[in-house]
Amino acid sequence: MRYNLSRLFFLLFSITLAQQPSGDDIIDKMVEIMSPENSQGIMEQIVTSSNGQSRTYLLEMYSGNKSEKALMRYLKPTSVKGQTFLMLNNGDDIWTYFPRTRRVRKLTSNAKLQGSDFTFDDMSSDETWKEDYSVENLGLEILNNVECWKLEGSETEKNTSDYPKVLLYVRASDFYPIQIDYADPKDRIEKSLYLEDIQTIDGYPTAMRIRMKNHLENSETIMATKEMSYSWEPPEGFFSERNLKK
């Protein structure tokens, strides 16, 4: 019995493609495991500038309704203690409260968090991935000895971020991302987000260390998780301007 090798190759290739999840499927699963209903945590923020100087902050963070709402309040050092940020509507609406002046000010999503390498857009809900980007699955790739799906996201008309293209490396084992590269219009990687020391808390994989590297400015910011709970329930009116001023 003769085999048509080209037909056999096409058949095997078609089977492989059929077994490979689409970019949207992977994003859906990634968002699901990264979006608990609510969360409460204590974070240490370490900002290292291009000259090697570091600043360390301590803050409490809360999120609700699958990260559609978030509140961050600085605890240390004294110079920023009490400064609070409120994010609503998946990061579309952002306000900050300055305790020294007792004033509330509205911010844009590309504003930086305490001069760090994180913008508020970086901190916003994962629910907007499919609105901002058309995602293609480029296949499996080994990154840092981890088998990952490599995804390429190209901006859609609804994209409001500063980055027209992103590359995501998502663990094939559980669809948790371990690296995101942000590219400018010339396809240069400007920033990279690394999710490290992944542990399971209350059934959710959680990066205990999130590191943002700015390749252009040679600066870096680390968000280290000190405490985290996904069983917290927000009191009524918690995500409000009134609580912002407490």
- Is 65 part of any domain? yes
- Looking up residue 200, the CATH number of its domain turns out to be 2.50.20.10
- Is 17 part of any domain? no
- Is 5 part of any domain? no
- Is 4 part of any domain? no
- Is 15 part of any domain? no
Give the pLDDT confidence score for residue 126 in this predicted structure.
Answer: 66
- Is 28 part of any domain? yes
Residue 180, domain extent: 23-244
User: Is-above-0.85 flag for pTM?
Assistant: yes
- Is 56 part of any domain? yes
What is the DSSP secondary-structure string of the chain? ----HHHHHHHHHHHHHHHSPPHHHHHHHHHHHT--S-EEEEEEEEEE-TTS-EEEEEEEEEEETTTTEEEEEEEESGGGTT-EEEEETTTTEEEEEETTTTEEEEE-TT-BSTTSS-BHHHHS-GGGHHHHEEEEEEEEEEETTEEEEEEEEEE-TT--SS-SEEEEEEETTT--EEEEEEE-TT--EEEEEEEEEEEEETTEEEEEEEEEEETTTTEEEEEEEEEEES---PPTT-SSHHHHT-
In the predicted structure, residue 214 carries a pLDDT above the cut 90: yes
In the predicted structure, residue 184 carries a pLDDT above the cut 80: yes
In the predicted structure, residue 2 carries a pLDDT above the cut 70: no
Instruction: Please write the tens of the pLDDT for every residue from 7-16.
Output: 544 444 444 4
Average pLDDT over residues 66-80: 94
- Is 14 part of any domain? no
- Which of 114-118, 166-170, 194-198 bottoms out in mean pLDDT, i.e. has the lowest? 114-118
Instruction: Count up the domains in the chain and report the number.
Output: 1
Average pLDDT over residues 15-23: 70
Instruction: Please write the tens of the pLDDT for every residue from 142-173.
Output: 999 999 999 999 988 887 778 899 999 999 99
In the predicted structure, residue 49 carries a pLDDT above the cut 60: yes
